[in-house]
Amino acid sequence: MWSWIIPILTLIVGLVGGFFFGVFYLRRQMEQMQSNPEMLQQMAKKMGYNLNKQQMNKVQNMMKNQKWK
């Protein structure tokens, strides 16, 4: 019986821990992108967009207004 319970519990703990670590990491990356326009530009290029100066300012202002915490 323990050979079924322990793997299931470790799977659940791993999934929950991985989810919370992923959320923490993503929030930290988004906070760093707020103050670093080069990172925003790289992310936009990876997604297939080429942002000009006005669009970049609009994106930065939008991200500053977001509440990450």
pTM score over 0.75: no
Sign of the C-alpha dihedral computed for residues 55, 58, 64 and 67 taken in this order: negative
Q: How much is the pLDDT for 24?
A: 94
Chain segment 1-39, per-residue pLDDT in tens: 889 999 999 999 999 999 999 999 988 888 887 778 888
Contact between residue 57 and residue 50 where contact means Cβ atoms under 8 Å apart: no
Chain segment 29-68, per-residue pLDDT in tens: 888 877 788 888 888 889 898 888 898 888 888 877 776 5
Kindly list the domain boundaries of the chain, sorted by start residue.
Answer: 2-65
Residue type, 57: N
Contact between residue 68 and residue 27 where contact means Cβ atoms under 8 Å apart: yes
Which helix or strand (DSSP H or E) is residue 10 part of?
helix 2-35
Quick one: which of 56, 24, 61, 28 has its CA closest to 43?
56
